[in-house]
Amino acid sequence: MVMTLRKEIIALLENEQLTAREISQAVHITVKEVYGHLEHISRTRRGAFGMQPAQCLACGFVFAKRTKVTSPSRCPICKSEHIQDPYFFCKG
C-alpha cells in the first residue's frame, strides 16, 4: 500500500519532533512544499497536531503566540535573524 505524502509526513511526526527542513529531507520535497502540507495537516488534525514554537537564539525570546507554521524571519525584541526553527509533532 502506497502512503500519500501527507500521511507519510504525519507518520514521521508521530515518531519524533522534526523541523520543516528535516521533514523536507526525509520526504524529498522543498521546505516551501512542506509548509503547505503542514498548514493542511494542522487544519485537518487540529487536536493531534502540535508545534514547539521557534526561539531566538540571541536573546531567548520564544514565539509562543505565533500560529503560522513558517519560521519567523526576525526577533521582535532584539531584531536578530538567528532563529531556531519550530518543531512539529502529531499525536497518534
What single letter denotes the amino acid at residue 78? C
5-90 carries CATH number 1.10.10: yes
Q: What is the pLDDT of residue 67?
A: 86
Confidence of residue 75 (pLDDT cuts 50, 70, 90): very high
CA pair distance 75, 54, nearest whole angstrom: 10
**To the nearest whole number, what is the mean pLDDT of the chain?**
94
The residue extents of the domains of the chain are 5-90
Q: What is the pLDDT of residue 1?
A: 60
Q: Which three cell numbers stand for residue 66?
A: 505565533
Q: Which three cell numbers stand for residue 18?
A: 522534526
CB 70 within 8 Å of CB 38: no
Task: Give the predicted TM-score (pTM) of the model.
Answer: 0.88
Q: Tens digits of per-residue pLDDT, 3-18? A: 799 999 999 999 999 9
* Three-class secondary structure of residue 15 per DSSP: helix
Match 540571541 to its residue by C-alpha cell. 58
Q: What is the pLDDT of residue 50?
A: 93
Q: What is the pLDDT of residue 45?
A: 87
**Any bridge partners for residue 50, and if so which?**
89
Q: Tens digits of per-residue pLDDT, 36-70? A: 999 999 999 888 999 999 999 999 999 999 989 99
Q: How many Cβ atoms sit within 10 Å of the Cβ of residue 28?
A: 8
